[in-house]
Amino acid sequence: MKLSVIIANYNYRDFVGAAISSALGVDWSDKEVIVVDDASTDDSRIVIDGFQGKVAAYFRPKSNQLGAHIFGFEQSTGDVIIFLDADDLLEPDVMLEVARVWRPGVSKVQYRMNLIDSAGAQTGTAIPQFPRTDDTEKLRRTFLRTMGYTTPPGSGNAYSRGFVRRAFAMAPSTIPESDGILLTLAPIMGDILTVRRPLARYRIHATNTWLMHSLDAAKIRKRLLQDRQLALLFASALRQLNLPVAHDPLNRNFNHLQYRFASHLIEPSADLFPGDTVIGLGWRLMYAATTYSQMPLRERIILLAWIIACVLAPSFCRRNLIEWRFVAISRPAVIRRLLGTLSSLRSVRLPHRA
């Protein structure tokens, strides 16, 4: 079984060298590392050229993540594909662990990721918190209804070649990021297996695509627009696969609904979903959280308390509540202590994602 690690880079000169080194350091003899530079304007090329003879490097006109990944995939020959973000790292034993659980019919093997800061120091946190047990059919049934399941970001997934080929054939040009496409199609085009050990490192830094260092209404709207595009892809894929198409699964997806709720509260004049109300969204989000079987009890408690607080709080307080949820560094000490107390509930073996 051959591994292909594909790294798409755009202006990450400070990180791409470490990403390439981590890919070359994967403990698997049959592997290739492909680097696709998407028209960087910094000194990325100098860094990438330093690995000449060790990686296959391509320097292309500007496209986007999807275009770079499709090009890299076309150059690859591996049976297992990891799309490593240029600011993330792989652990040396990632392929050993993936191969241990791999079987026919798998679309992807997913694994946890340790969080690191911009300098590479570990923060002591890993994401995500997976359900305690695997049930691929239950995951698929839930996903068909809600478009939601527990998944790491892009670098936390090892995909089968057959799945990637089929997914990219369905990918619309209107979605510039391949991660969303692959993560959306994986549950309906194969089985998802989970390794609960951290096998990659996710870097937190100022230019993360989705991470917010302060409350950013525009970034929230961008996420909601991507959700709508992915919902169209989801419905199209279901029809092509002759599977039942759920009616508006985003209305049952708690992750989408919490961003939609936040967007409506902080900037109702720019609401992307006419007809939404605070009470209506609040009830819909509470229902989604309480019925989503993959969400651990601790997260449900936090989310339900946050929803109720947002609904009942005066309008001038809501922005702070939203910022505390989506921007961790903004949380007052008392909130951090409360979250720490809730974390200690894990010691009595309540259901959680581990």
Check: CB of residue 90 under 8 Å from CB of residue 82. Answer: yes
Strand partners, 9: 37
Provide the whole-model pTM: 0.90
How many whole angstroms separate alpha carbon 76 and alpha carbon 59? 16
Per-residue pLDDT of the chain (354 residues; tens, 9 = 90+): 999 999 999 999 999 999 999 999 999 999 999 999 999 999 999 999 999 999 999 999 999 999 999 999 999 999 999 999 999 999 999 999 999 999 999 999 999 999 999 999 998 989 998 888 888 898 999 899 999 999 999 999 999 999 999 999 999 988 999 999 999 999 999 999 999 999 999 999 877 766 677 788 889 999 999 999 999 999 999 999 999 888 889 999 988 999 999 999 988 888 889 889 999 999 999 998 888 766 777 778 888 988 999 999 998 889 999 998 888 777 777 666 665 554 433 333 223 332
How many whole angstroms separate alpha carbon 330 and alpha carbon 308? 20
6's CB contacts (< 8 A; 6+ apart) are 34, 36, 69, 72, 73, 76, 81, 82, 83, 84
What sign has the CA pseudo-torsion 239, 241, 244, 249? negative
Task: Look at residue 354 in the predicted model and tell me its pLDDT.
Answer: 29
Q: Which amino acid is at 54?
A: K
How many whole angstroms separate alpha carbon 60 and alpha carbon 46? 15
Q: What residue ranges define each of the domains in the chain, with the CATH number in brackets?
A: 3-203 (3.90.550.10), 217-348 (no CATH)
Which ranges in 313-353 belong to alpha helices (H)? 315-326, 333-343
Please calculate the CA angle 258-264-267 and round it to the nearest 5 degrees.
130
